[in-house]
Structure 1
Amino acid sequence: MAADQTSVIEVRGVTTRLGGVVIHRDLDLTVRAGEVLALIGGSGSGKTTLLRLMLGLEVPAAGEVRVFGQRLGACAAADLAQVRHRWGVLFQQGALFSSLSVFDNVALPLRELKALPKGLITELVMRKLAQVGLAGADALKMPAELSGGMVKRVSLARALILDPQLLFLDEPTAGLDPASAKQFVQLVQRLRNEMKLTVVMVTHDVDTLFALADRVAVLAEQRLVAVGTLAEVAAQPHPFIRNFFLGHVAECAEDSIRSYRESLTRAPLAA
């Protein structure tokens, strides 16, 4: 999918320190409207910290992060709340509330608005559950009764319940078996196209990159060592990149990526 060049997220001159340790040094990164940008890097490279900066959960020691034009950490509380309504987040382990049913987990963002009637909330929740491939009966289940794949789907439904323009995915296929991971990637691929989403994704899974990423940003040595398409990044000589894509360089060619994604689109989407 060709991305609109309008920027949704702008990271400019960002330096991050945690406990006196420098995590990022002078990062610059733009996320364009309509694209899927994947963040990759080794353990401790600062992928999740960068995601938290984009969510306003961390504040940089220097530089700025803007989302939809609002500078996080420097805008009014009301403006920040409006921006947060325009994004959704799928956390790595799902982060469902164990004491709430599937329905109540998904309904929570709607209820926090304190502006929607009960009947409309019910309609919207059931519609969103169907959109992610879950049955009506699943709404009554508790998180402990769900498979790993169902937890991901419920979490995705909650992330999308406000129909955001921007979706953050933190290791979306972590903990899933290969078949469930493929099905979940198919689902994200379809929803991304249907909802015209901009996606920022942290992942270590090469197959997920092949299926979804328009561009890849590589974190190493406190900086971004490469940003570009899969083919562009896989061709870089940096040791982390060579190791990450070891045996997969040929698959990163544009024709190979296109064929792989077309095969996913044609495959049936299992629930």
Structure 2
Amino acid sequence: MPNPECIIEIESLYTRFGNHVVHRDVNLCVHRGEILTLIGGSGSGKTTLLRQMLGLEQPSQGSVKVFGNSRDDLIQNHLKSNIRNRSGVLFQQGALFSALTVFDNVALPLRELHILSEDLIRELVMIKLDMVAIEAEHADKMPAALSGGMIKRVALARALALDPELLFLDEPTAGLDPELSGSFVELVLALRSELDLTIVMVTHDLDTLVALSDRIAVLADQKVIVTDTLEQVCQFQHPFIASFFKSIRQKIEQNTHSEHSWKTAPMPL
């Protein structure tokens, strides 16, 4: 089988802040159509790496390619704009503009194109709000009047405003109760299938990680130590992985033990 296409390709990446080294020889490929979750301990550089994928920060050394184009080469405005429009970001806590209504928050990326009429923008905004299950009656509300779950959904609608191919989720279920978290996960899965999205996610929530991830990349010891499926990552020997996935590893071991016991149990006479 051919190798999956890399939507994001990171090679030999180093990040230094003065004498402090955050990343050392990081290599990572995000496959088209997958949900890749980035995890790591506090200070491991997850957010920094995410910002480098977004082009908000530059690594000290190495390359970050998105859609085959190096972030370092995005000095041409049309190329930078094209790649930006093909990506959407759901920031932690939603990061809605408090002075703008729900409608205007979602409309902002569309208005920045300077090519769409207000009538078309209104139609597109209402479509996006409907996609994330926000009813039209909420369009004129201010963010302060929204619940935490609604803020996440409006922020997701804004991230999807330009019909991106690539979506970044930074702690998408942080601050949500289990029920709201579960419904948000179902929404992301439905949109991923409907819109053929490639998703890069950072999360500390184990339930969200298990429900959404196709592969998991683990940042530890200043590099990506393993990138694989949940089951394979759980079996990788490292102190952070042992601690982070403790409950899951116990379930896997219990299931394996139960299966072994069933296979080796004597047959009843």
| Structure 1 match to 2:46 | 47
Question: What amino acid is aligned across from residue 70 of structure 1 in structure 2?
Answer: N
| Structure 1 match to 2:248 | 248
- C-alpha distance in 1 between matches for 2:201 and 2:252: 18
| Structure 2 match to 1:24 | 23
Deviates more, 1:242-251 or 1:218-227: 242-251
How does 1:149-168 map onto structure 2 within 5 Å? 149-168=149-168
Residues 197-254 of structure 1, C-alpha deviations (whole Å, 9 max, x = no match):
000000111111111100000001101111100011011110000100111126579x
- C-alpha distance in 2 between matches for 1:150 and 1:250: 35
Task: Report SS of the residue matched to 1:247.
Answer: helix
Residues 101-130 of structure 1, C-alpha deviations (whole Å, 9 max, x = no match):
000000000000000011110000001100
Establish whether residue 66 from structure 1 lines up as the match of residue 62 from structure 2.
no
- C-alpha distance in 2 between matches for 1:50 and 1:176: 25
CA shift at 1:66, angstroms?
0.4
Bigger Cα Rg: 2
Q: TM-score, normalised by structure 1?
A: 0.90
Equivalent pair of 1:210/1:252 in contact (CA under 8 Å): no
Task: Report SS of the residue matched to 1:248.
Answer: helix
Equivalent residue pairs, number = 252
Question: What amino acid is aligned across from residue 20 of structure 1 in structure 2?
Answer: N
| Structure 2 match to 1:95 | 95
| Structure 1 match to 2:180 | 180
Q: Give ranges in structure 1 of 5+ residues lacking alignment.
A: 256-271
Identity of aligned residues (%): 58
Task: Report SS of the residue matched to 2:124.
Answer: helix
- C-alpha distance in 1 between matches for 2:3 and 2:124: 29
Distance of aligned partners of 1:64 and 1:215 in 2 relative to their CA distance in 1, 3 Å threshold: same
- C-alpha distance in 2 between matches for 1:150 and 1:252: 35
- C-alpha distance in 1 between matches for 2:105 and 2:121: 12
CA shift at 1:20, angstroms?
3.2
How does 1:86-125 map onto structure 2 within 5 Å? 86-125=86-125
Task: Report SS of the residue matched to 2:139.
Answer: helix
| Structure 2 match to 1:267 | none
| Structure 1 match to 2:55 | 56
Establish whether residue 214 from structure 1 lines up as the match of residue 221 from structure 2.
no
Establish whether residue 145 from structure 1 lines up as the match of residue 130 from structure 2.
no
Equivalent pair of 1:13/1:26 in contact (CA under 8 Å): yes
How does 1:182-197 map onto structure 2 within 5 Å? 182-197=182-197
CA shift at 1:4, angstroms?
8.2
Distance of aligned partners of 1:19 and 1:97 in 2 relative to their CA distance in 1, 3 Å threshold: farther
CA shift at 1:166, angstroms?
0.3
- C-alpha distance in 1 between matches for 2:3 and 2:184: 25
Structure 1 runs (4+) deviating above 6 angstroms are: none
Equivalent pair of 1:34/1:196 in contact (CA under 8 Å): yes
Question: What amino acid is aligned across from residue 40 of structure 1 in structure 2?
Answer: I
Question: What amino acid is aligned across from residue 45 of structure 2 in structure 1?
Answer: G
| Structure 2 match to 1:127 | 127
- C-alpha distance in 1 between matches for 2:186 and 2:209: 12
- C-alpha distance in 1 between matches for 2:142 and 2:96: 10
Residues 42-65 of structure 1, C-alpha deviations (whole Å, 9 max, x = no match):
111000000000000110110000
Equivalent pair of 1:217/1:228 in contact (CA under 8 Å): yes
Residues 23-60 of structure 1, C-alpha deviations (whole Å, 9 max, x = no match):
10010100010000000001110000000000001101
Question: What amino acid is aligned across from residue 50 of structure 1 in structure 2?
Answer: L
Distance of aligned partners of 1:72 and 1:172 in 2 relative to their CA distance in 1, 3 Å threshold: same
